[in-house]
């Protein structure tokens, strides 16, 4: 018999609007699962049962009133959506994954949380993240490590590892996430989920911790393309003071609409090699990309290959910017010693980066942005979508990427794991990870699709077409 967590988020929302499911019943179901299963997967830093129950009761009252009055509601009204612990929820502890901020309780909501409240969603809690979201694992000093439910000895990735673990384990129907170098797409790949990193400026990062570099953005993780698109509809939009803004959809259109719309025949370019010289890609990840290319060709899309020139500029420039971002993270006076060795290492290096060096690194990223944009738009030879493996390795064991004894080596080891994802943070393009492949060991292996700036709609339509051709949502880990 199907259980509540077997339903997609959109199915849950429709049932709430119709009165077949109570938001209170739905919330209690997930709180029970979190209480029973979260110790195994490390999905949550903070669970908020009292707030969740109040929001669920309010959502139930509002749904009943809307039915009486014939008013529409958000497609996700009454649906539980956890928030990553890098984002502020007023009155709820936000550690940013750091022991130095273990007791930090913000007084304001981030704009994404304001939008989630307005959509009538229910906050189950704050999902696990590494300190300040800096590495590609979710192993910090405030919570147990986040693990992929497909193999509990392996990491759920990072930095949205808690969000990925929560959705893949059925502890939430979908989740807010964020991505500064791959942090939505990495957990999507290793947890067998669909994840969207939107275009730069699609989602407001304010009001408290704007990323002025433009690398980071909030995104979505879900089991289905339609669910992820519906959550992007909730999160999308700019606010006064935002440093970037993406072009809006045409009036009356939604991203969820595009999940129900077949794409036109597209020109897809599979990138051979990696954007970082010398990185070897695991055969399982290459097989996933091969399989995706064949499937795309069979669906009527034109698939070509394009080799990337060897250029260390991206990795070097990205590292400088990442170090500066680490250095400017707010740490209370006298609590620096509570930071992880990696964070202290990056902050020390970031403080040594001068203004001209930082500007040169940003110029290098913008130069790359223009190069890729020109290739996408070139008359007669331009392409619509880029295809790569999401990662260069299958899911790694817990602890494989954290190295407190040698934080410089830990940072250096991140790029060989994720050489493909930072490219699209640098360019600001939208990118998704699609769970088309599982290897012989039963581990999920994602493929990455990236599109033109501002064109999440095409990626969503194409991903939904792939999902229809090779469904994945019914494939679930044993702990489901």
Give dist(CA 466, CA 282) in Å, integer: 23
Give dist(CA 92, CA 75) in Å, integer: 25
Give dist(CA 337, CA 98) in Å, integer: 11
Which residues are designated catalytic? 84, 159, 183
Q: Which residue, 305, 28, 44, is CA-closest to 166? A: 44
| Contact present, 340 and 401 (Cβ < 8 Å) | no
Give dist(CA 181, CA 74) in Å, integer: 31
SS3 480: coil
Partnered with residue 23 across adjacent β-strands are none
* Residues with Cβ within 8 Å of residue 2, at least 6 apart in sequence: none
Strand order from edge to edge, sheet including 302-307: 174-179, 217-222, 194-197, 431-438, 444-451, 385-389, 267-272, 302-307
Quote the tokens at residue 78: 């009454």
DSSP 8-state secondary structure symbol assigned to residue 236:
-
| Contact present, 340 and 140 (Cβ < 8 Å) | yes
Distance set, CA 399 to CA 47, 156, 287 (Å): 24, 11, 26
> H or E stretch including 328?
none
Please give the biggest Cα pair distance in the chain: 63
Quote the tokens at residue 412: 């250096």
DSSP 8-state secondary structure symbol assigned to residue 410:
H
Quote the tokens at residue 161: 């590892």
Positive/negative CA dihedral, 76, 470, 306, 414: positive
């Amino acid at each position: 018999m199907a259980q509540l967590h077997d339903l997609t988020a959109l199915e849950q929302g429709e049932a709430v609007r119709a009165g077949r499911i109570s938001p209170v019943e739905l919330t209690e179901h997930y709180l029970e699962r979190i209480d029973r299963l979260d110790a195994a997967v490390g999905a949550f830093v903070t669970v908020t049962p009292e707030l969740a129950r109040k929001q669920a009761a309010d959502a139930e009252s509002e749904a009943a009133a809307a039915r009486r009055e014939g008013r529409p509601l958000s497609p996700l009204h009454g649906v539980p959506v956890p928030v990553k612990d890098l984002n502020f929820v007023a009155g709820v502890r936000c550690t940013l994954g750091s022991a130095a901020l273990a007791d930090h309780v913000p007084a304001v909501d981030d704009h994404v949380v304001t939008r989630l409240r307005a959509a009538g969603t229910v906050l189950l809690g704050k999902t696990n993240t590494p300190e300040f979201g800096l590495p590609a694992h979710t192993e910090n000093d405030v919570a147990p490590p986040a693990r992929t439910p497909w193999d509990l000895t392996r990491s759920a990735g990072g930095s949205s590892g808690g969000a990925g673990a929560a959705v893949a384990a059925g502890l939430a129907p979908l989740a807010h996430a964020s991505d500064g170098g791959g942090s939505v797409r990495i957990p999507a790949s290793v947890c067998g989920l669909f994840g969207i990193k939107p275009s730069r400026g699609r989602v407001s990062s304010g009001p408290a911790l704007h990323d002025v570099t433009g690398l980071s953005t909030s995104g979505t993780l879900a089991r289905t393309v339609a669910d992820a698109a519906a959550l992007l509809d909730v999160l999308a939009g700019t606010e006064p003071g935002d440093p970037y803004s993406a072009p809006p959809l045409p009036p009356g259109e939604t991203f969820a609409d595009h999940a129900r719309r077949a794409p036109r025949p597209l020109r897809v370019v599979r990138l051979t090699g990696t954007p970082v010289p010398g990185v070897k890609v695991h055969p399982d990840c290459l097989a996933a990309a091969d399989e995706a290319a064949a499937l795309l060709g069979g669906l009527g899309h034109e698939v070509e290959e394009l080799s990337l020139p060897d250029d260390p500029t991206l990795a070097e420039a990205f590292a400088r910017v990442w170090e500066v971002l680490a250095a400017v993270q707010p740490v209370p006076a006298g609590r620096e010693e509570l930071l992880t060795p990696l964070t202290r290492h990056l902050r020390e290096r970031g403080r040594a980066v001068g203004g001209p060096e930082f500007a040169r690194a940003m110029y290098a990223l913008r130069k790359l942005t223009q190069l890729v944009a020109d290739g996408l738009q070139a008359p007669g030879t331009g392409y619509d979508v880029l295809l790569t493996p999401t990662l260069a390795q299958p899911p790694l064991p817990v602890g494989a990427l954290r190295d407190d004894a040698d934080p410089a080596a830990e940072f250096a080891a991140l790029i060989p794991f994720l050489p493909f994802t930072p490219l699209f943070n640098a360019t600001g393009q939208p990118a998704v990870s699609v769970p088309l492949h599982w290897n012989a060991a039963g581990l999920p292996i994602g493929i990455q699709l990236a599109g033109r700036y501002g064109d999440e709609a095409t990626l969503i339509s194409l991903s939904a077409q792939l999902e229809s051709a090779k469904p994945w949502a019914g494939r679930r880990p044993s702990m489901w």
